[in-house]
């Protein structure tokens, strides 16, 4: 999900953390699909066992995205490379919206994790990254707290709920608004910019490799899982 990196921008440890998040996400989504097909009975929208897992998984992805941007900027990543990779994330976000509209027409994804990541990366790259770490930490805290203290019905529409200051969560299969999630990306950026050495050193190779292809994995894993379960259900009923 975070932008792929190469060369001096690469960190095996950061990739491995992202790879771990990918594996966790795949297990979570497989469980969700089993529930959708009626093979298990779980409440993914209210049961804390599942809702807290989702929060943790999204947090890992956004933390890694912030850390990846810090490494990229320290390595002197040019604007052309950034915009090419940003376009991949934004394009995949549109594909997710289209696919979810086909499968979940009443709760399709208008602003999920890829949509949120695309907007947050713009905010970080085009302005916030120029601020001192202490200021970014304050902004991160304010971003996390804002939805709890400030909310308005003006932000309850599909055209405005991307901000995050909603009075109630919209009916959608994935929702990752700028607030509070920008705070997590800023934290990853600050930690990496202040202590880049934390990402230096060995890491589990399989997870690191998987983390480098996280966006591709994200886009194909659900069609594969759903296709496999559809086939299994067909043969089960045959």
What are the backbone dihedrals phi and psi of residue 107, each rounded to the nearest 5 degrees, phi first? -145, 40
Residue spans per domain, the chain? 7-237
Kindly report, residue by residue over 3-49, the tens digit of the pLDDT. Answer: 344 345 679 999 999 999 999 999 999 999 999 999 999 999 999 99
DSSP result, the chain: -PPP--GGG--HHHHHHHHHHHHHHHHHHHHHHHHHTTSS---TTT-HHHHHHHHHHHHHHHHHHHHHHHHHHHTT--HHHHHHHHHHHHHHHHHHHHHHHHH-TTS--SB-HHHHHHHHHHHHHHTGGGS-HHHHHHHHHHHHHHHHH---GGG-STTTTTSS--SS--S-S-B--HHHHHHHHHHHHHHHHH-GGGG-S---HHHHHHHHTHHHHHHHHHHHHHHHHHHHHHHHH-
CB contact at 8 A, 183 and 140: yes
Mean pLDDT over each residue of the chain, to the nearest integer: 93
Closest by CA to 17, choosing from 204, 167, 155, 187, is 204
Q: Which residue has the tokens 């659900």?
A: 222
pLDDT of 5: 42
pLDDT, position 77: 87
Say what the pTM is. Answer: 0.92
Tell me the pLDDT of the chain (238 aa) as tens digits.
Answer: 443 443 456 799 999 999 999 999 999 999 999 999 999 999 999 999 999 999 999 999 999 999 999 999 999 988 999 999 999 999 999 999 999 999 889 999 999 999 999 999 999 999 999 999 999 999 999 999 999 888 999 999 999 999 999 999 999 999 999 999 999 999 999 999 999 999 998 999 999 999 999 999 999 999 999 999 999 988 877 5
Q: What is the pLDDT of residue 9?
A: 66
Alpha-carbon gap, residue 178 to 55, rounded angstroms: 14
pLDDT at 234: 83
Share of the chain above pLDDT 90, in %: 87
């Amino acid at each position: 999900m975070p932008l792929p990196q190469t060369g001096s921008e690469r960190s095996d440890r950061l990739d491995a953390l992202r790879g771990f998040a990918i594996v966790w996400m795949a297990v979570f989504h497989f469980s969700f699909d089993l529930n959708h097909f009626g093979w298990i009975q779980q409440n993914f929208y209210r049961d804390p066992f599942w809702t807290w897992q989702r929060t943790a998984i999204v947090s890992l992805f956004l933390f890694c995205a912030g850390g990846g941007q810090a490494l990229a900027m320290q390595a002197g990543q040019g604007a052309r490379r950034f915009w090419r990779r940003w376009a991949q994330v934004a394009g995949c976000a549109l594909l997710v919206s289209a696919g979810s509209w086909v499968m979940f027409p009443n709760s399709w994804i208008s602003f999920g994790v890829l949509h949120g990541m695309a907007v947050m990366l713009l905010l970080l790259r085009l302005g916030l990254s120029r601020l001192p770490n202490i200021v970014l930490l304050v902004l991160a805290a304010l971003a996390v707290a804002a939805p709890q203290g400030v909310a308005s019905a003006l932000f309850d529409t599909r055209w405005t709920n991307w901000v995050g200051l909603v009075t109630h969560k919209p009916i959608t299969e994935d929702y990752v608004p700028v607030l509070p999630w920008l705070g997590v990306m800023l934290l990853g950026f600050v930690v990496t910019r202040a202590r880049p050495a934390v990402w230096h050193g060995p890491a589990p190779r399989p997870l690191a490799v998987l983390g480098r292809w996280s966006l591709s994995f994200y886009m194909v894993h659900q069609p594969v899982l759903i296709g496999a379960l559809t086939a299994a259900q067909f043969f089960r009923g045959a």
